[in-house]
Structure 1
């Protein structure tokens, strides 16, 4: 059977897409479907919820950061041995940046490229018939993007449901479900978005509750029937020249990867690609005071929440000593939170300053917060684990920490925003150590 696909979209963040998607994924799994989740745009957290709901690894599909051939391959691999792929939109369905055609980063790009229909989730709290105007606007905004059906979310009463449903169906769009207002469905959040899946002690039970709600509230048969064939992007249909397109080459043969509550943000497609290329991932936990395996030839400190764990990291002497010993002869790279830990000091939210690894000379603060958010393209000024000198790598920034001392290190890259506007030198490098607030997604093509 050829896999089918559908996009879960909404007018904005906070509409309930993630709860609907997670519950839908588990409900479909209960029905015996082999189901996979995917996320449009740059997002580390939701793919982990998708994996928890389905038992199958999630994936990101980013139309700005990834070349089209890479998206084709990743979606093709996701559809292999799957009956249905559910793609969750980031932000609003059409939200992205001004860029080349179908390279904005929006979920609508994926809808156009693959002919995927959209299940539109509308938060109808505070409105009733007006929801039809919103739905109609989505239906006619872009003829190349098909709105297949609507799910009403946060419905207050049966009368509320009836008013909104009749108005929407009168403009020609089917309503395929209505989810009643229920605060217990809301997933907890913190400053970078949802609290991570790995931090929920009772996550599986919560997902089951969401699935129970979706089974009661959605017409699952109609939703499955709306999904479109992904036959054109199955692994067997992808050109041989495109099947080898990868995001980033493995930074080493044996990769020591920091992995715990402080270090969690590494895109699933990178881990999968590195393993497929023959690299071995050797995880270690700085919070458990573990050092990187000295038999590895590169160490990677991903992003995460070191600002919430700064005291424990500062007290982790085995981690500190092992990192310093490792960096004497082998490459070390830190992204965002990892970059913060590579520096001299980190000031936490309470204004307490903690000594970090000191492998780079900068200092950061979470007490003096400023949101940095957006697509970035980095042209590397030196060889490092994310590429060779002169390479341009696409990715993004998303952090609240500020750089309070730049330090004496040479910059790692020249950085520009998603539209190519230069932002100056970025990151730091010293010997075999490199780091930056920039999260790498894929090499530019």
Structure 2
């Protein structure tokens, strides 16, 4: 089996509890495969830093219910333990049309939905900092709301004192619900955050010390005798399925793709990178911040999201790379740029203090930071044939950014809608014929293998055309 760590709402300490469990398990010598519900990039970075294994996102909106089950079954089998961190509150989701949300359709893609899909027990984290007797009403409500969800026990977080804990235990006694962990208010474990959530792992100099403190917390604050049997990944009822890739697609011939990965660009789904490699790509990781030039002999480029606005001054000073990227795209190199990557390809980035930094300049507009957060799942309808999709194709993605473009494309990639209704969100994305896909919308390719296939095929075509020109 595996275990789902859920919260009664956002901000109750799910990530701290999850990281403490992961760190303690790794200290014990176990290999742990972690998963994250939803489209998040940053929490999985912390999981991977602790476990040494890439965390896998479980998101039926970006992929499908079948893919979620397949992904979980495939990756949990190689590890001794498996742990799933939820998203927001246990039942917070969207309206959906899946096969497993008939009782509460508004919980599609929620932590509860994933727990039902995978038939996993849930540990509920409750923020007790302003609670005493009311904790029992909260726990009872969560246990009774959906009978398909098995609440294996509770973690009481931010407990203030022994007296406070005694009141909580007395209130919960009638529910006969196991208390699997008690965490006191922590002042010595702090992970900094900024405008899009936690600061990524690559920017935290004291992270090893934080992980050690999390492991100490995990060692002392949980009922391991009860937890370990629940965390045993080999007890899962899900059977490993053959992947869609291995059964229906063969690898294409090798191409070299430059993947920007450093402190400015680090938002990638590991499944996307895996698919590129399985389809025949050699991924060459490089840094637009630190490297003096593009990697040699590449046939494609991939710029993920991240925080280019935070490192704009350093990016703008690397003029050789800015010019090399622009030249490569002008010469037809197939290029994907998502969110932060889109911003990098603009003429300028304007930061929160209205300072302006020149960027690549292939997209004729500026990316301007502002306080308004654009957030949510999107249904995007392709308006024309592009690097990744044909005109008329519906794809599903996720937006999460605090920047906006000062001008819209005359040939946008998509017309976009909210995922769970028909509200039109306008036109989005920039498309240079054949070779550039630049968009704020993050895509997971797990259930859409035709997207990376198409990208690699375009990279192969570019290599052949470039070779013909050179000869």
TM-score when scaled to structure 1?
A: 0.92
How far apart are the structure 2 equivalents of 1:294 and 1:177?
Answer: 52
Match of 1:415 in 2: 416
How far apart are the structure 1 equivalents of 2:224 and 2:387?
Answer: 45
User: Given that residues 339 and 439 in structure 2 are in contact (C-alpha distance below 8 angstroms), is that contact kept between their aligned partners in structure 1?
Assistant: yes
**Match among 42, 48, 51 for residue 51 of structure 1:** 48
Number of aligned positions between the proteins: 436
| 2:160 maps to 1:160 | no
Match of 1:321 in 2: 323
| 2:201 maps to 1:197 | yes
**Match among 398, 401, 419 for residue 399 of structure 1:** 401
- Stretches of structure 1 that go unaligned for 5 or more consecutive residues are none
**Match among 430, 438, 441 for residue 438 of structure 1:** 441
Match of 1:93 in 2: 90
**Match among 16, 35, 44 for residue 32 of structure 2:** 35
| 2:79 maps to 1:82 | yes
Match of 2:262 in 1: 260
Give the direction of change, closer, same or farther, for the CA distance of 1:234–1:443 in structure 2 (3 Å limit).
Answer: closer
**Match among 63, 68, 75 for residue 66 of structure 1:** 63
Deviation, structure 1 residue 129: 1.5
For residues 197-227 of structure 1, the C-alpha deviation after alignment (integer angstroms, 9 at most, x for no partner) is 1222122221121111121111112112234
How far apart are the structure 2 equivalents of 1:259 and 1:396?
Answer: 20
The within-5 A match list for 1:267-416 is 267-327=269-329, 328-366=331-369, 368-406=370-408, 408-416=409-417
How far apart are the structure 1 equivalents of 2:368 and 2:440?
Answer: 13
How far apart are the structure 2 equivalents of 1:245 and 1:173?
Answer: 46
How far apart are the structure 1 equivalents of 2:311 and 2:115?
Answer: 40
User: Given that residues 60 and 67 in structure 2 are in contact (C-alpha distance below 8 angstroms), is that contact kept between their aligned partners in structure 1?
Assistant: no
Deviation, structure 1 residue 384: 4.0
Q: Secondary structure at the match of 1:288?
A: coil
How far apart are the structure 2 equivalents of 1:185 and 1:37?
Answer: 21
Give the direction of change, closer, same or farther, for the CA distance of 1:244–1:85 in structure 2 (3 Å limit).
Answer: farther
**Match among 414, 423, 426 for residue 424 of structure 1:** 426
Deviation, structure 1 residue 333: 2.0
| 2:234 maps to 1:233 | no
The within-5 A match list for 1:123-134 is 123-134=127-138
Deviation, structure 1 residue 243: 6.2
Q: Secondary structure at the match of 1:361?
A: strand
User: Given that residues 36 and 56 in structure 1 are in contact (C-alpha distance below 8 angstroms), is that contact kept between their aligned partners in structure 2?
Assistant: yes
Give the direction of change, closer, same or farther, for the CA distance of 1:222–1:242 in structure 2 (3 Å limit).
Answer: farther
For residues 29-79 of structure 1, the C-alpha deviation after alignment (integer angstroms, 9 at most, x for no partner) is 222322111100010011111111112111100022211222122112221
- Stretches of structure 2 that go unaligned for 5 or more consecutive residues are 102-107, 449-471
**Match among 162, 169, 174 for residue 178 of structure 2:** 174
Give the direction of change, closer, same or farther, for the CA distance of 1:233–1:252 in structure 2 (3 Å limit).
Answer: farther
Match of 2:453 in 1: none
Match of 1:147 in 2: 151
Give the direction of change, closer, same or farther, for the CA distance of 1:284–1:16 in structure 2 (3 Å limit).
Answer: same
How far apart are the structure 2 equivalents of 1:109 and 1:35?
Answer: 23
Deviation, structure 1 residue 157: 0.3
User: Given that residues 42 and 200 in structure 2 are in contact (C-alpha distance below 8 angstroms), is that contact kept between their aligned partners in structure 1?
Assistant: yes
What is the root-mean-square deviation in Å for CA atoms of aligned residues?
2.3
Deviation, structure 1 residue 418: 1.1
Q: Which deviates more, 300-309 or 376-385?
A: 376-385
User: Given that residues 44 and 267 in structure 1 are in contact (C-alpha distance below 8 angstroms), is that contact kept between their aligned partners in structure 2?
Assistant: yes
TM-score when scaled to structure 2?
A: 0.87
| 2:119 maps to 1:115 | yes
Give the direction of change, closer, same or farther, for the CA distance of 1:370–1:151 in structure 2 (3 Å limit).
Answer: same
User: Given that residues 347 and 364 in structure 1 are in contact (C-alpha distance below 8 angstroms), is that contact kept between their aligned partners in structure 2?
Assistant: yes
Deviation, structure 1 residue 109: 0.9
User: Given that residues 151 and 178 in structure 1 are in contact (C-alpha distance below 8 angstroms), is that contact kept between their aligned partners in structure 2?
Assistant: yes
Match of 2:221 in 1: 217
Q: Which deviates more, 415-424 or 377-386?
A: 377-386
Q: Secondary structure at the match of 2:342?
A: helix
Q: Secondary structure at the match of 1:370?
A: strand
How far apart are the structure 1 equivalents of 2:82 and 2:323?
Answer: 45
How far apart are the structure 2 equivalents of 1:181 and 1:106?
Answer: 27
How far apart are the structure 2 equivalents of 1:371 and 1:240?
Answer: 36
